[in-house]
Amino acid sequence: MVPTQHPWPGGVPYVAPLRYALHRIETYSYPKEDVRAHHAYGVRSTISKILINGREVVPGRGTVVLIREAIGF
């Protein structure tokens, strides 16, 4: 099995516990992305997928790459 890698922009802020992280998405990141998408594409944005990586049962099965560069919100 080939490991899956997810380049994940915006992985800079670490927020715990989970409810604060989800609140940050809804109140900080989403409004900024909604404005950007509306200006760029003429459509509103939605929150449709959220990756929550707790732990992996099989070592090496999946990899998430966090980018230290501020390229997202």
Which band of pLDDT confidence, cut at 50, 70 and 90, is reported for residue 11?
Answer: low
Determine the pLDDT at residue 9: 55
Tell me what pLDDT residue 18 has. 86
pLDDT digits (tens, 9 = 90+) for 22-73: 998 999 999 999 999 999 999 999 999 888 877 778 877 877 777 777 776 6
pLDDT score for 37: 92
Residue/partner pairs of 68-73 with CB below 8 Å, 24 or more apart: 68/12, 70/12, 71/9, 71/10, 72/9, 72/10, 72/12, 72/29, 73/10, 73/28, 73/29, 73/32, 73/33
Question: What is the reported pTM?
Answer: 0.58
